[in-house]
Structures are given as structure tokens and as C-alpha cells.
Amino acid sequence: MARVNAFTDGAFSKIIGNDKEISLFDKFLNTNRVLDSHSPKLKKLLGKYKSIINNNKPTFEQLAILETLIMQMNMLESFTNDMIKLNLVREYVYARIPFQRVDIENKDVRVIVGTTADWGVDNIDKLYKDNEFMEYTRKKLVEAMNDIIKQTETQLKQYK
């Protein structure tokens, strides 16, 4: 089971689904597909459930976007350098931080912060201790987070 992260796990964002995952209410309805074998009372209950979902789907979608934006802003305003994870792929140094995303499966932001040659090191552990590097990395991550937040805000505007 995946780890639960307060910065990237929301309630409504899981309920409404996305391009890759079916919504939880659609999953629920799909488990009750064979309506021919259901009693009239059960069919009526399923019909009422479906009607309520359909009438409120835009509200749920708006709540999911608001929830995503809240989690994104929370991370932007509260992350610390010790939350930054560095990786070395060939000579490139990547930085990542947990961040709510609906467009990709990985719930993080990743940026390239240069090469080991750019920073004159061959060891990532040295970079964690380099204040100039960590400040530069923080700025790059903030820029990337702000870009994603702007996209989320644009999505939210369709509901106003």
C-alpha cells in the first residue's frame, strides 16, 4: 500500500478520479451493473444514488480542485530544505519534493538543478550541506510549484 502523505493525499481528489482512474462512485455503480437481477426496491435505490451523484458531480469536482490547490499551497508555504530529496542520474542532479499532482502518478515536483560539474562535486551528500546549492534548488522547486499552482487555479476558474 502506498504511503499516506498529508501534502499529497486528499479525499475528493480520490473520489472523482482522473484520466487514469475511474471515480469511486462510478466504481461503486459498476459493481451493481446487472440491474436485471435486482429487486425493484434496489433498482430504485441505485437510481436515486446515481441521480444524486450526477446532480452533484460538478460540486465534487470543484471540491477536488479546491482540495488540490489547498494541498499545493500548503506545501509551497511550509516546505523546508530537509524535505528536499536529491538524486543523481548520470551527471545530472535532480531535486524533488512531495506535491499534490493530478496530472501524473508520482505525487511530487522534480527539477534538474544542474550537473555535478556545475557544482564541482561528485557526491550528493556534499550538496545537501552547500547552502548556495540548497537555496538555488529551493528557488527552482518554488518556480515549478508556482507553475503547477497556476494551472490548478485555471482549472478552478471554470467553476466560477
pLDDT (tens digit per residue) in 99-142? 988 777 788 999 999 999 999 888 889 999 999 999 999 999 99
Whether residue 35 is found in the same domain as residue 86: no
Q: Say if 2 falls within a structural domain.
A: no
Q: Say if 115 falls within a structural domain.
A: yes
Residue ending a domain, among 24, 48, 78, is 78
Q: Say if 7 falls within a structural domain.
A: no
pLDDT of residue 88: 92
Whether residue 85 is found in the same domain as residue 73: no
What is residue 77's DSSP assignment?
Answer: H
Helix (H, G, I), strand (E, B) or coil at 148: helix
Whether residue 89 is found in the same domain as residue 67: no
Contact (Cβ atoms closer than 8 angstroms) between residue 93 and residue 127: yes
Whether residue 135 is found in the same domain as residue 88: yes
Give phi and psi for 55, each to the nearest 5: -70, -25
pLDDT of residue 39: 86
pLDDT of residue 7: 56
Tally of domains within the chain:
2
- Domain range for residue 109? 81-157
The x, y and z cell numbers of residue 148, run together, are 503547477
Whether residue 23 is found in the same domain as residue 86: no
The x, y and z cell numbers of residue 6, run together, are 498529508
DSSP 23-72: -HHHHHHHHT--GGGS-HHHHHHHHHHHHHHHHHHHHHHHHHHHHHHHHH
Whether residue 98 is found in the same domain as residue 138: yes
pLDDT of residue 4: 45
Mean pLDDT by 10 residues, the chain (160 residues): 54 80 83 69 88 92 93 94 93 94 84 93 89 96 97 90
How far is it, in rounded angstroms, from Cα 2 to Cα 4?
A: 6
How far is it, in rounded angstroms, from Cα 153 to Cα 158?
A: 9
pLDDT of residue 33: 64
Whether residue 91 is found in the same domain as residue 73: no
How far is it, in rounded angstroms, from Cα 69 to Cα 17?
A: 16
pLDDT of residue 18: 76
Position 28: which residue type?
A: F
